[in-house]
Structure 1
Amino acid sequence: MDGADVVEITALTSIDEIDAQDWDRCADPEGAPGRPPENPFLTHRFLKALEDSRSVGRGSGWAPRHLVARLGGRVIGVMPLYAKGHSQGEYVFDHAWAHAYERAGGEYYPKLQAAVPFTPATGRRFLAAPGENRAAVVSALVQGAVQITASNGLSSLHITFCEEDEWAMGAEVGLLQRTGEQFHWRNRGYADFEGFLADLSSRKRKQIRRERREATDSGLTIRALTGDALEPEHWDAFWRFYQDTGSRKWGTPYLTRDFFNRLQESLRDETLLVLAERDGRPVAGALNFIGAESLFGRYWGCTEHHPCLHFELCYYQAIDWAIAHGLETVEAGAQGEHKLARGYLPVKTHSLHWIADAGFRRAVAEYLEAEREAVGDEIAWLSERSPFRKSDLTQDIEEHD
């Protein structure tokens, strides 16, 4: 990219304002026919499903403001961006920041959020088209987002669950760095689930085998469905499960019923729905999304409670499916130290932040420095309590250091 060229940044109020091919060239630059997208949540069709189903938009607190970077008229980069009227559905919690800012007399909301709504999955947030100077695209998108934040009198900009290299690049242009933790499973070339169990300590192998037996002891049948095997009645069942979980966790479920119809229409090949059935009737389910290298666990729910069924549908079935399809990782969503005993190890997650008020920015920076150290200490402590045999754990850490 010639330094004399001017990059034009525009903000969209709907994903429909950009051609799907232009967006997806940036979101999945290595995409190929028949290959799942690198990250299904960043595709035009996923973001469109959220908007068209009114899961985001008017009345949701998530107003689309997607950024598009153009050079000479061609799209060179995009960013999924939203004006937020609250801090719900983000999974990188800044409620304490909002309360402190408002106690000091400021207005924290609205703010800008570069994220995929309701989705705590790591992925690129500065999406550059293939062949472009990625560092220059990142710089242009950051400058554009900061300028929109400042010129509209917004309190802050937040870029959550970004990739680690973006985290580093963001710090170079003055953004504040934050870390968190999740639990991910890694495939070390296992031939089957028993191969994975062989890497665990004897006690943990026995525990997992017992849990898998208990999950189906009451006569349940488990089916993993994707693509054309998914039918509308499966989404009717899962909607019941999702409503039950959502009402208990969030008060009001984030996604509308129509969102699941749109998954059926345009995303069923990137969707894996694991159902537990009694006499052909679904009684529990776990929803996953399929990427080129990862399986992303998202939602779970049930109308019947059975011992260990949550572990079976959400964790063990996901591992089974990832091994069978050669995927490298399973990301099982936010939080949950209970995942450690099931073979999911702690990893860092990353976010970037820009605070308009200089004094508040300094206070947040001090907090984040202490928080990063605490997160690092906790991950080290948890890693020492891994279910893997020590020699295998050391090798895994070295391979992914």
Structure 2
Amino acid sequence: MSSIRDIGLAQSGAHKIEWVKRNCPILRSLEAEFSQTRPFENIKVALSIHLEAKTAYLCKVLAAGGAEMYITGSNPLSTQDDVAAALVAAGLEVHAWYGCTPGEYETHIRSVLKNEPNIIIDDGGDLVNMMHTEFADSLDKVIGGCEETTTGIIRLMAMARRDELRFPMVLVNDADCKHLFDNRYGTGQSVFDGINRTTNLIVAGKMVVVAGYGWCGKGVAMRAKGLGARVIVTEIDPIKAIEAVMDGFEVMPMNEAAKLGDFFVTVTGCNKVIAADDFKVMKNGAILSNAGHFNVEIDVEGLEEMALEIEEQRKNIMGYRLEGDRWVYVLAEGRLVNLAAGDGHPAEIMDMSFAIQALSAKYLVENAGKLKEKLIKVPKEVDMEVAKRELNFMGKAIDILTPEQKEYLDSSSL
């Protein structure tokens, strides 16, 4: 039995999913193959990813392969109620709605996990965490899982260090076809889709402060520059800081950047990246947004305590009046701006990422009981298969080594 907001929204959601399907050729090809080979027959899959149309199509692809799908969202503000309704109308079980409270969010996760899943597909680690705590009695049913994000991998690594992780997890985020394209190009575009549609302000000529220069930060900085902004990067890693400088960006501590920024985007996976000392020196009109998984990178609670007045300016923009009659604005409650205030990454980008998810889940089923390590890299053949399919659908071709070249590269005389 599903728990969603309104089944009457199903037709709208179905149209969104159909549009995604038309623009996801790799997933379409996998859906056709899976419907014939049924690799997930009698397999229960629990999935927690931002519940919008691309995620919904991934769910339908897995279901075409025989999977029993139990679905929830991974963020209270990223679930699209019409998409959730469309999945229920298609016969899948869903527990999610937009704007759920923290308590409702946890209830939705429980509703998914009580079905004793065999495969877990997670985004941020909430499913895996609750599986190990509240549903430990069902851990022996879990073959393994896949993790979508940097934040989730950080949590998994912490569990592994404490020897708490009880089943293998494929680190999908670390696949080349994920982080090189999804994290960089997907995040870069979708962050500014969310910012622009929410604020209706120009980026060109402004100062954009990007906190974190991992693959997501690289994408955000690149897109800001492309929109005509000047860019400052803040970092804790000296190597990444040098890379940002050589890419043409200013680098400085956050408290210095806070004095200069017009737009702020956090993409670090850490907490209180923008905090009280930074709010104190910000310009009037500074706009703060977050593209990390959890809503902890901007210290919104600290900002609320400092504020002399709090007022909603428009949908997904909350204003805070500080000393000196300065207003700073936080987008989407400090949650993922590209999903809480937008539609997330472009369909073609998620086509590759979700193909990695689907093939990694298939790998886990095929190797059930054989994997000894708890943290598993995406198999190279999976990464290469997705890349080859994408290149083919792009209408591009590459060279192939001749036998002579292969012999040369394999030669010990090199």
**Normalising to structure 1: TM-score of the pair?**
0.27
Higher strand share: 1
**Normalising to structure 2: TM-score of the pair?**
0.27
Higher helix share: 2
